[in-house]
Amino acid sequence: MKKNMNKYEYKNQLETLQELAHIGLWEFDLTTKTLTWSNEIYNIFEMDNKTFIPTYEDFFKIVHPEDKELLENAYLNSLKTKEKFKINHRLLMNDGRVKYVEESGNTLFDEKGNPLISRGTVQDITELSLAKIEAQNEHNKLKAILENIPDLLWIKDVNGVYITCNKRFEDFFGAKEKDIINKTDYDFVDKKLADFFKEHDIKAMNSKKPLSNFEDITFASDGHKEYLQSIKSKVIDSNGNILGVLGIGRDLTELRDKEVKLTEQQEELQSIYNTTKDGLAIVDMKTNFVKVNKAYCEITGLSEEELLGTSCLALSDPQDRERVSAIMNEFMQKGVIDNFEKVCIIKNKRINVTLSASWMPDKKHILLSMKDITKNKLFEEQSKLAAMGEMIGNIAHQWRQPLSVITTISSNIKLRSEYDQLEDYDIESDMNIIMQQAQYLSKTIDDFRNFIRNTKDVHKLSLKDTIEKTLSILHSAMINNSITIITDLKDDIEIEGYENELIQSFINIINNAKDAVKENVKNDEKLIFIDTKKEDSSLIITIKDNGGGISDNIIHRIFEPYFTTKNKTVGTGIGLSMTYKMITERHNASIDVYNEEYIYNNKNYKGACFKITFK
């Protein structure tokens, strides 16, 4: 009875110790596959020892999914090596909480080396693990702050030995923190500079407040120089004992340079004010001149004395003063006027000017900038005539292919009619093509006018439909030149744009490809490929041919206005230049050209590839 009592007391004491230490015992019989837990493991795993019967499989259901393989491998490896295993892993509780445990175990083997029984312990280390994680997180946060601040930071002990530093300071010494710690300035810089640092360290440790000094230093990492403000303060413990010195080095190079530049800029501004060809004037809130430069006087033909005290509105054309007055009122609300055109009449002389206005820093005066554009106006009228001629040339360039199609179809109709080979369905088909070409010709004038005026509205359009319309227009031309167009139009991609301009752009590119294959492909298929696809958030169209590509010497110039390798009677160099404008300026897209080698139907080809990207 006494012996049984001792065993009972021993068991109670053991369970009490397990509970206090948060350590549970387990035993796994590998012959019967029976798993036994002590009460503390039930407590750790939060299971009821009266209703839950543990199994090997049920145990692994409690283990965190990310740790199952790691734990099982550790146990199975111990069976192979016949060595003890020890591992930290996580438990995933029913309510989503995570516990951390340390598990260890050993296995008993028979004389043949077969595993019989595995025994081990599970200790709840959640509080310790969470404390370590929190401490590590705080350390990481502090380290991240130190590494990311733009200042140099370092700490030395009372003997000038480095305790820690950040990345910026590493760059200064050209060494890693691990190679700086436990060393002094004398290990990295010359004695004179090290003495300078030491002197200010001692002053800082003896001072009641932080001290600062200014230093020009050279970074050992790359040799660049900085002008630093070094702020040093002593580090003390809770008892007031001095532990060392904390240093912060702030880069003031830019600030110092700005101060120097500010003085230079003031001198430059005064020089610009006096020498610029733009008329500059300062007026008060009543629009009266307060200050004018030499150019303003030259533009107006009035002296500074004549202008001062006069309202700038008095210089405006009497018929234009109401509009100018309204613009000035608008300026009072918005605070800016940019390139406002007006007419000045001074001493019976008419002057066309552009006027810009902005507030002076005091918000009580206005800075006026005036340019004489009288000559520009004359040039503008002349350029309108030149633009008209260019537009007509562009129209002729765009009409060449449709007119050729109409002429070809008409000739074919006449020829078939003469030989009595003309069928009704041929007439209907040919007439439809002629009508399409005629409608395109009709639209071209409007398209060019709208393009120049930039007045057309944006519409949602289908790239697939637009490409198909383009191919319909070029259908006969491709057939007549024995060119095959292969399309791969994925889905039905829609964009916001100007359909006729895109058609013009596609025609220009395809015509360029047509000319290339006509000239360079003699004894093979003449091919043009058109693909559309989505790539990330972009919409991409590629048009490529098998014409051999564009010479590397000129490929970078093909979008230049009037650049062409063809005879003047064949090309003007306008088409691709206009295409570039319509794609980039009108559709806010990009267009690139490059040579590409590829395989089609088991044959190798090379040609120019135009890639248009709508972002």
For 15-57, the pLDDT digits (tens) are 565 555 578 899 999 999 999 999 889 999 999 988 999 999 9
- Identify which of 76, 77, 29 has the alpha carbon closest to the alpha carbon of residue 54: 29
345: left (phi over 0), alpha (psi -120 to 50) or beta: beta
472 and 444 Cβ atoms separated by less than 8 Å:
no
pLDDT at position 91 is: 94
Between CA 153 and CA 170 the distance in angstroms is 10
Residue 334 pLDDT exceeds 80: yes
Between CA 357 and CA 328 the distance in angstroms is 9
Between CA 511 and CA 103 the distance in angstroms is 76
Helix (H, G, I), strand (E, B) or coil at 593: strand
In order of 143, 145, 167, 220, 432, the CA distances from 149 in angstroms are 10, 6, 9, 19, 72
Q: How confident is the model at residue 605 (pLDDT cuts 50, 70, 90)?
A: very high
In order of 402, 481, 526, the CA distances from 484 in angstroms are 19, 9, 6
Rounded to 5 degrees, φ, ψ at 539 are -110, 130
Q: What is the mean pLDDT of residues 356-378?
A: 84
Residue 390 pLDDT exceeds 50: no
Q: How confident is the model at residue 313 (pLDDT cuts 50, 70, 90)?
A: confident
Residue 268 pLDDT exceeds 50: yes
Can you give the residue ranges of every domain in the chain? 12-128, 149-255, 276-372, 456-614
Q: In what order do the strands lie in the sheet with 115-124?
A: 34-37, 23-29, 115-124, 98-109, 85-92
pLDDT at position 180 is: 94
pLDDT at position 550 is: 92
- Identify which of 28, 34, 24, 26 has the alpha carbon closest to the alpha carbon of residue 117: 28
Q: In what order do the strands lie in the sheet with 152-157?
A: 162-165, 152-157, 242-251, 225-236, 211-218
pTM, two decimal places: 0.35
- Identify which of 275, 191, 296, 200 has the alpha carbon closest to the alpha carbon of residue 245: 200
Neighbour tally for 502: CB within 10 Å = 25
Residue 494 pLDDT exceeds 60: yes
- The stretches of 419-462 forming alpha helices (DSSP H) are 424-453
Examine domains 149-255 and 456-614 and report if their fold is the same.
Answer: no
Q: Are strands 279-283 and 366-372 parallel, antiparallel or unpaired?
A: antiparallel
Q: Among 90-99, 487-496, 550-559, which is the least confidently predicted range?
A: 487-496
38 and 15 Cβ atoms separated by less than 8 Å:
yes
For 281-312, the pLDDT digits (tens) are 999 988 899 999 998 898 888 998 999 988 88
pLDDT at position 420 is: 74
Q: Are strands 483-489 and 526-535 parallel, antiparallel or unpaired?
A: parallel
Rounded to 5 degrees, φ, ψ at 57 are -70, -40
The one-letter code for the residue type at 518 is: K
For domain 12-128, give its CATH number from 3.20.20.450, 3.90.1150.10, 3.30.450.20, 3.40.1180.10.
3.30.450.20
Burial class (CB in 10 A: 0-12, 13-18, 19+), 185: buried
For 167-178, the pLDDT digits (tens) are 999 999 999 999
pLDDT at position 539 is: 83
pLDDT at position 417 is: 75
Rounded to 5 degrees, φ, ψ at 236 are -125, 155
pLDDT at position 7 is: 55
Between CA 180 and CA 241 the distance in angstroms is 24
Q: What is the mean pLDDT of residues 566-583?
A: 67
Report whether CATH 3.20.20.80 matches the domain 456-614: no
CATH code, residues 149-255: 3.30.450.20
Q: What is the mean pLDDT of residues 62-75?
A: 94
Give the CATH H-level superfamily of domain 276-372. PAS domain (3.30.450.20)
pLDDT at position 6 is: 59
The residues with which 367 forms a beta bridge, in sequence order, are: 282, 358
Q: How confident is the model at residue 612 (pLDDT cuts 50, 70, 90)?
A: very high
Which residues have C-beta within 8 Å of that of residue 557, sequence separation ≥ 6? 563
Q: What is the mean pLDDT of residues 234-259?
A: 90
Structure tokens at 171: 């760059």
pLDDT at position 566 is: 64
pLDDT at position 372 is: 85
To the nearest whole percent, how much of the chain has pLDDT over 70?
87
Q: What is the mean pLDDT of residues 137-152?
A: 80
Between CA 374 and CA 57 the distance in angstroms is 93
120 versus 566: the higher-pLDDT residue is: 120
